[in-house]
Amino acid sequence: MGKPTGFLEFPRQTQEYLPVAERLKNYQEFVLRLPDDKATTQGARCMDCGIPFCNNACPVNNIIPDWNDLVFRGQWQRALTVLHSTNNFPEFTGRICPSPCEAACTLGFNAEAVGIKSIEQAIIDKAWAEGWVTPQPAAVKTGKKVAVVGGGPAGLATAQQLARAGHFVTVFEKNNRVGGLLRYGIPDFKLDKSLIDRRVKQLEAEGVSFRTGVLVGADKLPAGIASDAREAITAGRLEAEFDAVVLTGGSETPRDLPVPGRELAGVHFALEFLIPQNHEVAGDGANPVSARDANVVVIGGGDTGSDCVGTSYRHGAKSVTQFELMPQPPEQENKALTWPYWPNKLRTSSSHLEGDTRREYSIATKEFIGANGKLTGVKAVRLEWNNGKMIEIAGSEEVFPAERVFLAMGFTNPVAVVLDAFGVAKDARGNARATTEGANAYTTNVPKVFAAGDIRRGQSLVVWAIREGRQCARAVDEFLMGSSVLPR
Ligand SMILES: Cc1cc2nc3c(=O)[nH]c(=O)nc-3n(C[C@H](O)[C@H](O)[C@H](O)COP(=O)(O)OP(=O)(O)OC[C@H]3O[C@@H](n4cnc5c(N)ncnc54)[C@H](O)[C@@H]3O)c2cc1C
Ligand code: SF4
């Protein structure tokens, strides 16, 4: 373990942020990597618990106590090897993971958790800077061909694992660049896109081919689903040309709010604002949706909503209000009741603190109000919650001025037309039906067609997408070769 008395001697320390005034000037990352000496001290706090709850809570089961100890001892390259043994892309999770590991850290029970995520980022950022992250091409090729449909974190993890097992992997992506929601969705200020580009280069050097701007299984997509496709490929053609097909297309159907006035100009799905913003930062042309000088109402209290808040402030919004249907959670969880599980508690993101964000809880949208076809306000009603039942409070209607509304209420299911094109059966929520355990893990009802990531589990987290991609790769390798040495 780190230093036996480290947890008594040193406080938790995480990364520093650039001041708000500085970071609102652009879309660059503003979280500063923990310097080596501070990461070392933070590693010293780890108690190397007999039952490492952090490791159990982490969806990729990062071997956290080991790399904490190695960082404490200054053995950074060995820490990198341990980190990479469970996670293909720690630079993504080290930036944007909500860190269930820290919620589960034993030290967090009556003190402050080890700064696990900061240490993770410190290891991988140092590794890239030192040139320790290099391609690992397979020594022997199998001659088997695998198509991966969707270049998000699930697709990239699947592709990397399968290429390292010696298969020829082609990733098909409908957008003009790969990365999925990491690329087009999550703002640049949370994740710099050059981090994806350098991983893509690594995958290419390991033998993965990328075909961008190619839509698989459909000629066109339902409204509200972004696509830069210039070309379409049928499901049948992929099945004929490849030994296995892995569907990692995400869960892209946004939840709508069909109240009166939904058609007014100024009411947008969150990704109609966030995706063009990523394109603008990438130099692809201006975002047609502007929040400049607008009163913005973001409907939905999760990550996507928070990203709309931060992006609105960077546009120069006049005011930002965020609605959440559920009651305000407690500021502090009751650890005795919740630990080591993910607690329900008030979460204030860095974006919320970039302006005077008004956060409204127990509130429901009744109507979008407008004049001359343009949004001018949102009529909402306060709610009372009784045994999980939502009751509108009579006479509590209020109109919030708004020229922009961003609907950030989550995503309901993957695009059905693509699953239908392959004949893949769906579960009750419309996700690709496939289990994660047993002999048929990640297999769909269609021979040689697999599914992983949000397309299988529904909208989730990057770390779950990486886990599923890794596990699915092993299932595909077993299917192709009869056995696999890939980790699960
Ligand atoms: C705004 C926003 C912010 C988020 N913030 C966080 C966060 O901070 N932390 C976190 O952990 N998670 C976050 N998430 C969730 C996370 O991004 C997703 O859970 C994760 O990206 C899912 O990975 P995936 O590979 O399964 O799917 P995706 O990332 O959705 O990738 C799927 C890819 O498949 C492509 N595709 C789909 N269909 C086809 C087809 N037919 N042909 C070709 N290509 C196709 C899509 O274009 C896309 O590139 C956020 C999500 C959103 C929307
Ligand atoms: S739970 Fe916390 S203290 Fe225990 S091993 Fe994990 S990081 Fe270290």
Question: From the CA of 483, how far away is ligand 1's center (Å)?
Answer: 30
Rounded mean pLDDT of 49-54? Answer: 96
At residue 266, does pLDDT exceed 90? yes
Nearest-ligand number for the alpha carbon of 416: 1
Q: Which residue has the tokens 């981090």?
A: 195
Q: Which atom of ligand 2 is least distant from the CA of 106? A: 1
What does the mean pLDDT of the chain come to? 97
Q: Which atom of ligand 1 is least distant from the CA of 153? A: 25
Q: Are strands 449-451 and 244-247 parallel, antiparallel or unpaired?
A: parallel
What was the pLDDT predicted at 389? 93
pLDDT in tens, 404-462: 999 999 999 999 999 999 999 999 999 999 999 999 999 999 999 999 999 999 999 99
Q: Which domains does the chain possess?
A: 6-130 (1.10.1060.10), 145-253+412-481 (3.50.50.60), 257-409 (3.50.50.60)
**Least confident interval from 2-16, 49-63, 145-159:** 2-16
Q: Which atom of ligand 2 is least distant from the CA of 340? A: 1
Rounded mean pLDDT of 204-231? Answer: 96
230-to-83, 174, 242 alpha-carbon distances in Å? 38, 8, 22
Q: Which atom of ligand 2 is least distant from the CA of 104? A: 1
The tokens for 462 are 């990057």
Q: What percent of the chain has pLDDT over 90?
A: 98
The tokens for 68 are 């904490």
Question: From the CA of 347, how far away is ligand 2's center (Å)?
Answer: 22
Rounded mean pLDDT of 285-302? Answer: 97
Q: Is 53 in the pocket of ligand 2 (CB under 6 A)?
A: yes
The two most distant CA atoms of the chain are separated, in Å, by 72
What was the pLDDT predicted at 330? 94
Q: Which class for 286: exposed (0-12), middle (13-18), buried (19 or more C-beta within 10 A)?
A: exposed
Q: Is 427 in the pocket of ligand 2 (CB under 6 A)?
A: no
Rounded mean pLDDT of 189-203? Answer: 98
Q: Is 54 in the pocket of ligand 2 (CB under 6 A)?
A: yes
Question: From the CA of 215, how far away is ligand 2's center (Å)?
Answer: 44
Q: Which residues pair with residue 232 across a beta bridge?
A: 215
As a 3-state breakdown, the chain gives helix, strand, coil percent values, each rounded to 5, of 35, 20, 45
Q: How far apart are CA 444 and CA 427, in angstroms?
A: 11
At residue 1, does pLDDT exceed 80? no
At residue 378, does pLDDT exceed 80? yes
Select from 305, 301, 353 the least CA-distant residue to 327: 301
At residue 211, does pLDDT exceed 90? yes
pLDDT band, residue 224 (cuts 50/70/90): confident
Q: Is 116 in the pocket of ligand 2 (CB under 6 A)?
A: yes
Q: Is 52 in the pocket of ligand 2 (CB under 6 A)?
A: yes
The sign of the dihedral angle between the CA atoms of 377, 302, 89, 39 is positive
Q: Which atom of ligand 1 is least distant from the CA of 304? A: 1
Yes or no: say if 180 and 171 are a contact pair by the CB < 8 Å rule: no
Question: From the CA of 208, how far away is ligand 1's center (Å)?
Answer: 20
472-to-55, 174, 437, 465 alpha-carbon distances in Å? 21, 21, 10, 10
At residue 96, does pLDDT exceed 90? yes
- The helix (H) or strand (E) run that includes residue 358 is strand 358-360
Q: How far apart are CA 286 and CA 290, in angstroms?
A: 9
At residue 488, does pLDDT exceed 90? no
Q: Whose CA is nearest to atom 5 of ligand 2?
A: 48
Rounded mean pLDDT of 265-285? Answer: 98
Q: Is 223 helix (H, G, I), strand (E, B) or coil?
A: coil
Question: From the CA of 277, how far away is ligand 2's center (Å)?
Answer: 38
Question: From the CA of 144, how far away is ligand 1's center (Å)?
Answer: 27
Residues with CB under 6 A from ligand 1: 96-97, 149-155, 172-175, 180-182, 185-186, 215-218, 248-250, 274, 303-304, 307, 418, 453-454, 459-463, 465
Nearest-ligand number for the alpha carbon of 58: 2
Q: Whose CA is nearest to atom 4 of ligand 2?
A: 49
Q: Whose CA is nearest to atom 37 of ligand 1?
A: 249
pLDDT band, residue 45 (cuts 50/70/90): very high
Listed as own residue / partner, the contacts of 225-231 with beta carbons closer than 8 Å and 24 or more positions apart are 225/252, 225/253, 225/415, 226/175, 226/184, 226/252, 226/271, 226/275, 227/174, 227/175, 228/174, 228/175, 228/176, 229/174, 229/175
At residue 400, does pLDDT exceed 80? yes
At residue 2, does pLDDT exceed 80? no
What was the pLDDT predicted at 181? 98
pLDDT in tens, 169-182: 999 999 999 999 99
The tokens for 256 are 């709508």
Q: Which residue has the tokens 């990365």?
A: 179
The sign of the dihedral angle between the CA atoms of 431, 437, 443, 444 is negative
pLDDT in tens, 111-129: 999 999 999 999 999 999 9
Of 48, 61, 99, 112, best ligand 2 pocket probe by most atoms within 8 Å of the beta carbon: 48
The tokens for 57 are 């809570």
